[in-house]
Amino acid sequence: MKRLVLLGGGHAHVEVLRSLAIDPGARPEVTVVTPFPRLIYTGMVPGVIAGHYRLDECAIGIEALAQRAGATFVQSRGSLVNPGARDVMCADGGVIPYDVLSIDVGSQPVIGAARGVAQHAVAIRPLENLMKGWGSVLARTRAGGVSSISIVGGGAAGVELALAMDHRLRGERGDAAPHVRVITDTPVPVAEFSEGARRRLRRHLAKRNIGMHVSSTVVEVGHDHVRLDTGLEFASDATFWAAGAGAQPWIRESGFATDPRGFLLTNDRLQSVTYREVFGAGDCASLEGMPLAKAGVFAVRAAPLLATNLRAALGGGELAPLRTDPRYLALIATGPRHAVGTWGGFAWEGDWAWYWKDRIDRKFVERYAR
């Protein structure tokens, strides 16, 4: 029996598991290795922080899904792959052999040379860490111990989290709510979006009096401050680190070809360009010649093809190429039940856009609950 190892319980792998649960086919021996028994769906995380959802409404049970797919669930993280011997080394010391390996482990925050991040900041990945960190900041705020919050990173995630936190804290604390600020080293916030979307989001940040500090590089985080490379210091009782999506270093250390940032380089069949029995999808992988944004939507779009190609690789069949549009729909919640949307160069907003997002997100999570 062929052995398939799914490393990471990300957005593409939950679909692979669902597909195996529906149609096991030649029933390979499947093992899923992932550090948490659930996948928190990022699209709904700002809604949890804003107070619109309970966390359990936004989580997909990977362990339960693995059980339905007849797969073995291993709660650990991959720390190295030995592609010559075809095995995965896990952080708990386990070694898992494979015939076909698929990697969907997402990304990790880029910390660079900044000091004190691990000790004093809440990294937004893994999301379990973000939710735990937010819970403790919320409790400290309720006890009156937080008067300023900094979010380092001005991409869509940082801005959406800032808006959600401000909404929640103002709702609970009124004028006593902490001041929220976003600090980013880019010259504009949400540099990945069109000018129209940026303008709308800036307006929401300004309306809430959320500080937006652009072209500002944080070099140190302390328990009560953040310091910029210019020497300027901000009081910060709670700091969230949302600075970019970086690659997990073991991908390169395992000997796989990577892009310059260390993400697994794949061909359009989602195979590693160096080891064809290794596949990759989502944030941890980069398609050769077709750079895509690190957005969950691409993991979701690649998922059905990944499921098909993994079956083909196990059974010796033909692999199909991925065809995808680099443009994608982004809906960014602005705190209350209101969202800014953007697609290509277009931007719009409204309460209806939030309900649209809500419908898409709930449908996604429900798909894996059945």
Binding site for ligand FAD (CB under 6 A): 7-12, 33-36, 39, 42-43, 45-46, 77-78, 104-106, 124, 126, 157, 160-161, 248, 282-284, 294-297, 299
Alpha carbons 36 and 48: distance in angstroms, whole number:
19
Q: Smaller CB distance to ligand FAD: residue 21 or 49?
A: 49
Of 147 and 194, which CB lies nearer to ligand FAD in the complex structure?
A: 194
Q: Which residues does residue 74 pair with via DSSP β-bridges, in sequence order?
A: 33
Asked if 225 and 236 count as a contact pair (C-beta separation under 8 A), the reply is yes
Q: In the complex, what is the shortest distance from the CB of residue 233 to ligand FAD, in angstroms, rounded to a whole number?
A: 26
Contact 265, 257 (CB under 8 A): yes
- In whole angstroms, the minimum distance from the beta carbon of 300 to ligand FAD comes to 7
Of the two residues 127 and 218, which places its CB atom closer to ligand FAD in the complex? 127
Closest to 300 in 3D by CA, of 16, 7, 96, 5: 16
Alpha helices in the chain (DSSP H): 11-22, 45-50, 62-68, 117-120, 127-142, 156-173, 195-207, 250-253, 296-315, 351-369
Query: Smallest gap, in angstroms, from Cβ of residue 45 to ligand FAD?
Result: 5
> Which of residues 160 and 227 has its CB atom nearest to ligand FAD in the complex?
160
Select 297 or 312, whichever has its Cβ closest to ligand FAD: 297
Minimum CB distance to ligand FAD, residue 187 (Å)? 22
| Closer of 101 and 313 to ligand FAD (Cβ) | 101
Question: Of the two residues 10 and 189, which places its CB atom closer to ligand FAD in the complex?
Answer: 10
Tell me what percent of the chain is helix, strand and coil, each rounded to the nearest 5. Answer: 35, 25, 40
The answer to whether 233 touches 187, Cβ cutoff 8 Å, is no
Q: Of 358, 355, 329, 354, which is closest to residue 344 (Cα–Cα)?
A: 329
CB 5 to ligand FAD: min, Å: 10
Quote the CA–CA distance of 151 and 57 in Å, as a whole number: 25
Q: Quick one: 46 or 178, whose CB is closer to ligand FAD?
A: 46
Other beta carbons within 10 angstroms of residue 199's beta carbon come to 12
Contact 162, 236 (CB under 8 A): no
- Please, are residues 90 and 105 in contact by the beta-carbon 8 Å criterion? no
Q: Please provide the distance, in angstroms rounded to a whole number, between the alpha carbons at the two ends of the chain.
A: 28
Provide the pairing of β-strand 218-221 with 225-228: antiparallel
Closest distance of CB 121 from ligand FAD, Å: 14
Question: Taking the complex as a whole, how short is the minimal distance between the CB of residue 51 and ligand FAD, in angstroms?
Answer: 15
> On the CB side of 42, how many CA atoms lie within 13 Å of its CA?
25
Residue 339 contacts residue 353 (beta carbons within 8 Å): yes
Instruction: Find the shortest distance in angstroms from Cβ 257 to ligand FAD.
Output: 19
Min separation Cβ 114 and ligand FAD, Å: 18
Q: Which is nearer to ligand FAD, 222 or 336 (CB)?
A: 336
Q: At a CB cut-off of 8 Å and minimum separation 6, what does 250 contact?
A: 78, 79, 80, 81
Complex with ligand FAD: residue 95 or 235, whichever CB lies closer: 95
Shortest Å distance, C-beta 111 to ligand FAD? 15
Beta strand 238-241 pairing with 121-123: parallel
